[in-house]
Amino acid sequence: MLNRRNLLQGIAAGAGSALTVSMDPQRLLAATDESRTTKRVIFFMQNQGFDPKTCIPEGMPQSGSLANKTLPEPISPLESYKDRLHIINGLHGTHTSPSHSAFFGALGGYRGGDGVPPSASTIDYEISKVLPETLLPHLCIGMDSIENMTAKPTVANLSASGAGQPIFMHSNPNHLYQMLYGGISTGDIRRQHEARSNLLEQVEKLAAAKGKTLPANTQKQYGQYVQGFRDVNGLRDRLAKVSDHLREFAPTVDERYTRPEFETDWHDALLELGISALTSGITNTLTIGSGRGEIFGAWKGLGVEQQGHNLGHMAQPGNPIWIKIRQYNSRMLVKIMEALDSIPEGSGTMMDHTLIVYTSNNADKQHTSGANWPVMLLGNFDGAFKSGCFTQLDGKRPINALYSTILEMAGATCDRFNMDEKLAKKFDSGNGAVKEILA
């Protein structure tokens, strides 16, 4: 049943997503031309920590090639892709206060906490500004228990476009499908899309008119809220202008969307939508929050009955529960790579020009000081990063340095990311890119 409450759910996602672009929507077609190359970045954040013993091959204490090594069981689905894998150990995030979660600080490289607003933009948003313009500069999806995703279809814990400006994650695949593909759908999806569109246009006009009567000191804040509605409406119009192109990439809506048996049905559907947004050229930057940046999360579809906070109190190495969760993550990474590999781009494929960054918003474990923050990279970003290897760092460079490196390889100039000289003297032994991980 359609009602105002249901139609307005998810509007917050537009209010913080910086959707405004000036490009002609028809340029989307040119952006997916096989003769062109376009870099793209995916951030995959798993909650509860990323223990290095679940990703570093046994008996490999020092940097070296993965060629003659067997990957640990938790990431075994990546075995056939280890020539594209780069495992990094020895970065730190002690300055982010990541115990339970660094929240916005995990991608921002600054102090974070539960309920603490972002103090600056995050790396995924900054990357989206550097990469070629797209219809939706940055897409965030969040995976959790079915109850949480239903009750809160959008939450903001990981990404931000600036201080006090969170970017919301989409957690209900039905809402996200309507936003991306409602204009090319039929039946109930089309009717819901049109009803939502009409309502949002009315809300935008009403909000803009009412905002003029507010006190001057609150008009700016209210203006950002109005801009959110304007951005969502504008995105819908831009997508409608390339509807023929989008039909080729739109996923099929099935019972996973409408009648999920487990939360993993929605996880899979969300991943499918994220992949379609990349392959269609709708976006070049995708952030995936498994656990949505908090200490919750559920994987009953994998046969894991435990959920939420208790999962973080379990040792990850050798734990059959965490082996299932990490293997599920790894299979998701494989799905992304296979999809991008299937689409020619330039002299190779989309995956040749893509970087996937897999880590945790909790560093190495749930209750952590952040002294070690393991990361896996997949893809070499058009030859910029080493691959097929393991790199052991000395623990003196922060995650900010990794983010500076990615920005630099994307084409920006960035000696330090969200770290001033005073903070750097205490937490960073170097300056600029982490040269050990570059090709």
DSSP string, 368-424: --SS---EEEES-TTTTB--SEEEEEEEEEEHHHHHHHHHHHHT---S-SS--HHHH
**DSSP summary character for residue 82:** G
Sheet architecture: strand order including 165-170: 64-65, 389-398, 85-92, 375-378, 354-360, 40-46, 285-290, 139-143, 165-170, 154-162
**CA-based nearest residue to 286, from 303, 267, 271:** 271
pLDDT of residue 14: 41
Q: Report which DSSP code applies to 141.
A: E
Model pLDDT, residue 189 = 57
User: Distance between CA atoms of 314 and 297, rounded to whole angstroms?
Assistant: 14
For residues 316-320, average pLDDT? 97
Q: How, if at all, do strands 40-46 and 285-290 pair?
A: parallel
- pLDDT band of 235, cuts 50, 70, 90: confident
Residues 269-293, mean pLDDT to the nearest whole number: 96
Alpha helices in 10-116 (DSSP H): 11-15, 27-31, 104-108
Q: State yes or no: pLDDT of 229 exceeds 80.
A: no
What does the mean pLDDT of the chain come to?
86
Helix (H) or strand (E) holding 233, with range, is helix 216-240
Mean pLDDT of 150-162: 94
The predicted pLDDT at position 12 comes to 38
- What is the reported pLDDT for 178? 87
- Domain 35-172+262-437's class? alpha beta
Look at residue 223 in the predicted model and tell me its pLDDT: 54
Q: What is the pLDDT of residue 284?
A: 95
Tell me, what's the pLDDT at 20? 47
d(CA 42, CA 172): 20
The angle at the Cα of 353, spanning 139 to 405, to the nearest 5 degrees, equals 80
Residue 425 pLDDT class (50, 70, 90 cuts): very high
Q: Enumerate the β-bridge partners of residue 376.
A: 87, 358
| Residue 219 pLDDT | 55
| Tens digit of each residue's pLDDT (9 = 90 or more) over 346-376 | 899 999 999 999 999 999 999 999 999 999 9
Q: Is the pLDDT of residue 3 over 60?
A: no
60 pLDDT band (50/70/90 cuts)? very high
* pLDDT above 90: residue 85: yes
| pTM, full prediction | 0.88
pLDDT at residue 198 tops 90:
no
The pLDDT-based confidence of 394 (bands split at 50, 70, 90) is: very high
CB atoms within 10 A of CB 430: 15
The per-residue pLDDT for 192 is 61
- H-type alpha helices, 90-215: 104-108, 123-130, 146-151, 173-181, 187-211
Instruction: Show Cβ contacts of residue 24 under 8 Å, excluding neighbours closer than 6 positions.
Output: none
Terminal CA-to-CA distance of the chain, rounded, Å? 55
